[in-house]
Amino acid sequence: MAQFVQTLALGLLIGGVYALMASGLTLIFGVMRVINVAQGAFLVLSAFVTWWVWRATGIDPIALAALTTPLMFGLGWAFYRLVGARLRSAPPSMSVLLMFGVALLIEGLLNVTAGNRFRSATPGYFDESYTLGPISLPKAPLYGFLAALAVLAVFYAVLDHTWTGRAIRAWAQNPSGAALVGVSAVPTATLAFALGTASAGMGGSVLSVLVPFFPASHYEWIARILGIIVLGGLGSLPGALTGALILGLAESLTSVYVSPQWSILVFYGVIMAVLIVRPQGLFGTRVREDVAA
Amino acid sequence: MGGADGLSRREFTTVGLGLGLAALVGCSGEGSAGGGDEDELVIGASLPLTGQFSQPGQEAGRGYRIWREMVNADGGILGRKVQLKITDDASSQDTVVSDYTRLITQDRVDFLLGTFSSLLNYPASAVAERQGMVFVEPAGGAENIFTRGFDHLFFAQPALSADQANTFVDWVKSLPAAERPTSAAYTTQDDPFTRPVIERLQGLLEDLGIRTVYTSVYPAETTNMQPIAAAIAGKKPELLAQGAVFQDGVGLVRALKQQDFSPKAFFQMSAPSNAGQYSKGVGTANTEGVFYSVSWHESAPTPLNKEFVTAYAKEYDNAVPAEDAADAFAAAQVLRAGIEGAKGTDQDKVAEWLHANEVETILGPLKWDKRGAPLGSFLLAQWQGGKVQIVSPEDAATTKTVIYPKPGWS
């Protein structure tokens, strides 16, 4: 029983962290209508910035999210304003190519500047845990989980309770309709894109403590968070959270009770099963192609 | 070892950087140009100086060259100076075959030395065998290389790849029965290099009566080691062995500490040999007592080892030789011993002598079975006080202390 609770707890914690990583991807999908394949590279970039500042100053890496989040927000804002927005009327495949190029550029720059080595921020608590009776809760994923909840709460509050948030959602659902009621396209999309990269800022800071990373690590992260948002429904925040928790739990329970070899297969099996029943994902909405274009 | 038999993705991406440099090295030519000196002993080899295996390939080239300088300073072999003829096979199986064929039939070299990786040594050794040439290879420890009935082939490392962990088994055997671990857990990445080692280790430890309480294989893309650590902690094994590559090795140490579980003995493949990156990843204090196996160590008290390390540092910007360079140096030592032992350059006699005798190398003494597979074992290394020490076998050990049982996490 203790082992079952322990496994559940580990699954939920890591699931929360995955939700943090995936939330920005789903938000950006809402704006660009394409998968931002550079989201993994943004995560790794932020992890490298965190590691570098942590090593130079000793400031707690997760607290450094207070630096990386605005930094990545600014980077995302500038990038979309200067480059991304130009492709708004181009076919979606152009945006995918552009973001893939950005991912390779970031990977290459990190290779040259930081070197092709594994890095890892190791503050005092990186390998410690809290004990609750027979259950141990590792501190780093726990802090990551709390950070995820905070980010998701902020996103939710902004999107559901502010005019800006409504504008973003309106624009994501139907750009021309939104324009008709006075939502100006570029500033709204820029803001949404920047919020998405900002979450990668925080996610990267958490990542730097969780697992060793090197410039090419972004491939494994983009694959994982893409699976999550497909399961949850592209563009849906509750979907990203649910998909991430399902991945975390599937990974943990399968590893412990079946075999780690099956854990990834089980997750993708769940995605396939869900997509057969609900092609739009768990929380995704069917879009009317005629008005959404 | 690792570098030769399976490059990690990270190594794979870095090797490209060596390309330009390798091209230069490849063109630089070896020894006296024209080779007019009748009396020189010409030794040919084709190495992967470019391409996928360029990293170990270039290190092997360095090992061969350092050996040439040292042997010529020592008066050569049987009074003849050594000339090396090294070509670049670009990590290609086709090129390595034509290279060795040309070395034998057109360049008419006196002897051959092997290339790098099992992939390239497999066809290269067949060319040599067909032409009746002795083939001492510094890498290529895959089992299937030695099942073809060749009698001119010799592998100049202490043991075949899959036997890497046997040295750890020997150490367990050396413990008094009452102190031996009674239960063991095994987990390995699903990797062609790590998995056979861990599976063989499990069989050998089971033969010693150590009960297996947990086994698992995890996919290469696993980053979250927490559930595996939780499952292992639930079984409380006294001995834990992991077929790690790198990130998974670091991840498991962290997760075990978070689960507050520390086994009495802990053996990991590969990860702990990446000295700085490993100790930074897990925290230096947490390295204490971790075992791994390796073919060579820079401070091993083997004959000529110190001279080799010094010569290498002098030639290459104070660098510490990579294990691959040391393996190549040792292969050349084996060839020299064979020629001197047979007192001539007759290929069959050299092969016969090597089958019958033991050779001192910087890796330690090497001897072979009739397949040319080595009969020794790897060195057993252990992290002690933030440094790596060789703890076994005795003649190569850098310390007499073995940390056992492993202390709890810091």
Residues B289 and B305 in one domain: no
CB contact under 8 A, B277 and A117: yes
Task: Give a three-class secondary structure readout of A3-62.
Answer: HHHHHHHHHHHHHHHHHHHHHHHHHHHHHHCCCCCCHHHHHHHHHHHHHHHHHHHCCCCC
Q: Show pLDDT as tens, one digit a residue, over chain A (293 residues).
A: 888 999 999 999 999 999 999 999 998 887 777 789 999 999 999 999 999 999 999 999 999 999 999 999 999 999 999 998 888 888 888 889 999 999 999 998 998 898 767 888 989 888 888 988 888 899 999 998 998 899 889 988 988 899 988 898 888 888 888 889 888 888 888 998 999 999 999 999 999 999 889 888 898 899 889 999 999 888 888 899 999 999 999 999 999 999 998 988 888 898 899 889 988 888 887 655 555 44
Structure token digits, residue A40:
């993994």
Structure token digits, residue A288:
């009317």
Residues of chain A positioned with their CB less than 8 A from the CB of B189:
none
Nearest CB partner across the interface for B219, out of A116, A141, A261? A261
Q: Which residue of chain B comes nearest to A55, CA vs CA?
A: B280
Q: Does any domain span residue B374? A: no
Buried b (16+ CB within 10 A) or exposed e, A84-111: bbebeeeeeeebbebbbebbeebbeebb
Say how far apart CA B331 and CA B61 lie, in whole Å: 12
Predicted pLDDT of residue B275: 66
Q: How far is A291 from chain B (nearest CA, A)?
A: 41
| A207 or B34, greater pLDDT | A207
Say how far apart CA B396 and CA B42 lie, in whole Å: 32
Confidence grade of residue B5 (pLDDT, cut at 50, 70, 90): very low
Q: Mean of the pLDDT values across residues B60-85? A: 96
Q: Which residue has the tokens 């020592």?
A: B74
Residues of chain B positioned with their CB less than 8 A from the CB of A256:
227, 230-231, 234
Q: Which residue of chain A comes nearest to B226, CA vs CA?
A: A10
Confidence grade of residue B17 (pLDDT, cut at 50, 70, 90): very low
Q: pLDDT exceeding 70 applies to what percent of chain B? A: 90
Buried b (16+ CB within 10 A) or exposed e, B83-106: bbbbbbbbbbeebbbebbbebbee
* Chain B: residues touching A (Cβ < 8 Å): 9-10, 13-14, 187, 190, 216-219, 221-224, 226-228, 230-231, 234, 246-247, 250-251, 253-255, 257-260, 274, 277, 280-283, 286, 409
What CATH number does the domain containing B383 carry? Answer: 3.40.50.2300
Predicted pLDDT of residue B10: 45
Q: Does any domain span residue B208? A: yes
Say how far apart CA B313 and CA B309 lie, in whole Å: 6
Residues B188 and B261 in one domain: yes
Q: Does any domain span residue B186? A: yes
Q: Please count the residue pairs, one from chain A and one from chain B, whose beta carbons lie less than 8 angstroms apart.
A: 110
Say how far apart CA B5 and CA B191 lie, in whole Å: 11
Measured torsion, CA atoms of residues B401, B402, B404, B406, in degrees rounded to the nearest 10: 100
Q: Does any domain span residue B404? A: no
pLDDT at B40 over 60: yes
Q: How far is A162 from chain B (nearest CA, A)?
A: 37
**pLDDT tens, position by position, B163-187:** 889 999 999 999 999 999 999 999 9
Best interface-test mutation with A: which of B258, B270, B273, B279 has the largest number of A CBs within 10 A? B258
Say how far apart CA A28 and CA A195 lie, in whole Å: 8
CB contact under 8 A, B227 and A263: yes
CB contact under 8 A, B280 and A223: no
Predicted pLDDT of residue A288: 54
- CB-CB contact of B27 with B293 (8 Å): no
Which residues of chain A form beta strands (DSSP E)? 129-132, 135-138
Say how far apart CA A205 and CA A222 lie, in whole Å: 16
Q: Mean of the pLDDT values across residues B331-344? A: 96
Q: Is B188 helix (H, G, I), strand (E, B) or coil?
A: strand
Task: Report the DSSP pairing between strands B387-392 and B379-384.
Answer: antiparallel
Buried b (16+ CB within 10 A) or exposed e, B34-55: eeeeeebbbbbbbbbbbbbbbb
Confidence grade of residue B298 (pLDDT, cut at 50, 70, 90): confident
| B99 or A114, greater pLDDT | B99
Predicted pLDDT of residue B15: 40
Predicted pLDDT of residue A286: 67
Best interface-test mutation with B: which of A122, A127, A145 has the largest number of B CBs within 10 A? A127
Q: Mean of the pLDDT values across residues B320-340? A: 93
Predicted pLDDT of residue A183: 87
Residues B149 and B125 in one domain: yes
What CATH number does the domain containing A101 carry? Answer: 1.10.3470
Containing structural domain, residue A141: 2-292
| DSSP class of A280 | T
Residues B134 and B15 in one domain: yes
Best interface-test mutation with A: which of B213, B218, B224, B254 has the largest number of A CBs within 10 A? B224
ipTM of the prediction: 0.82
Containing structural domain, residue B179: 163-295+379-396
Structure token digits, residue A201:
């800022």
Predicted pLDDT of residue B118: 85
Residues B16 and B147 in one domain: yes
- CB-CB contact of B284 with B258 (8 Å): no
CB contact under 8 A, A127 and B282: yes
What is the domain count for chain B?
2
Residues B358 and B387 in one domain: no
Nearest CB partner across the interface for A260, out of B228, B257, B258? B228
Say how far apart CA B378 and CA B359 lie, in whole Å: 16
Residues B323 and B277 in one domain: no
Say how far apart CA A115 and CA A1 lie, in whole Å: 45
Residues of chain A positioned with their CB less than 8 A from the CB of B246:
118, 212
What is the domain count for chain A?
1
Instruction: Give the CA distances from residue B316 to residues B21, B74, B203, B301, in Å, rounded to whole numbers and listed in that order.
Output: 14, 21, 43, 22
Say how far apart CA B211 and CA B16 lie, in whole Å: 45
- CB-CB contact of B294 with B389 (8 Å): no
Best interface-test mutation with A: which of B254, B257, B273 has the largest number of A CBs within 10 A? B254
Residues B32 and B152 in one domain: yes
CB contact under 8 A, A128 and B258: yes
Residues B124 and B6 in one domain: yes
Q: Does any domain span residue B342? A: yes
Structure token digits, residue A79:
């990038």
CB contact under 8 A, B228 and A141: no
Instruction: Give the CA distances from residue B100 to residues B54, B89, B115, in Å, rounded to whole numbers and listed in that order.
Output: 18, 9, 10
Q: Does any domain span residue B405? A: no
Predicted pLDDT of residue B6: 45
Beta-carbon-side half-sphere exposure of residue B331 (alpha carbons within 13 Å): 34
Which stretch of DSSP H or E encloses residue A180?
helix A175-180
CB contact under 8 A, B226 and A14: yes
Confidence grade of residue B352 (pLDDT, cut at 50, 70, 90): very high
Instruction: Taking each helix axis as running N to C, give the angle between helix B247-258 and helix B275-282, from 0 to 180 degrees, rounded to the nearest 10.
Output: 30
Q: Does any domain span residue B406? A: no
Task: Report the DSSP pairing between strands B239-243 and B265-268.
Answer: parallel
Buried b (16+ CB within 10 A) or exposed e, A148-180: beebbeebeebbeeeebbebbbbbbbbbeebee
Residues B273 and B389 in one domain: yes
> What residues have CB less than 8 Å from B126, skipping those under 6 apart?
B148, B150
**pLDDT tens, position by position, B106-146:** 999 999 999 988 889 999 999 999 999 999 999 988 888 99
Residues B149 and B181 in one domain: no
CB contact under 8 A, B230 and A7: yes
* Chain A: residues touching B (Cβ < 8 Å): 3, 6-7, 10-11, 14, 111, 116-118, 120, 122, 126-129, 131, 136, 138-139, 141, 211-212, 214, 216, 220, 223, 251-253, 255-256, 259-261, 263-264
Q: Mean of the pLDDT values across residues B381-410? A: 90
Specify burial of residue A216 (Cβ count, 10 A radius: 0-12, 13-18, 19+).
Answer: middle
pLDDT at B28 over 60: no
Specify burial of residue B72 (Cβ count, 10 A radius: 0-12, 13-18, 19+).
Answer: middle
Residues B123 and B176 in one domain: no
B8: left (phi over 0), alpha (psi -120 to 50) or beta: beta
Average pLDDT over chain B, rounded to whole?
A: 88
Alpha helices in B106-194 (DSSP H): 118-130, 166-174
**pLDDT tens, position by position, B181-227:** 999 999 999 877 788 899 999 999 999 999 999 999 998 878 889 99
Q: Does any domain span residue B371? A: no
Q: Which of A98, A81, A281 is nearest to A186 (CA)?
A: A81
Confidence grade of residue B68 (pLDDT, cut at 50, 70, 90): very high
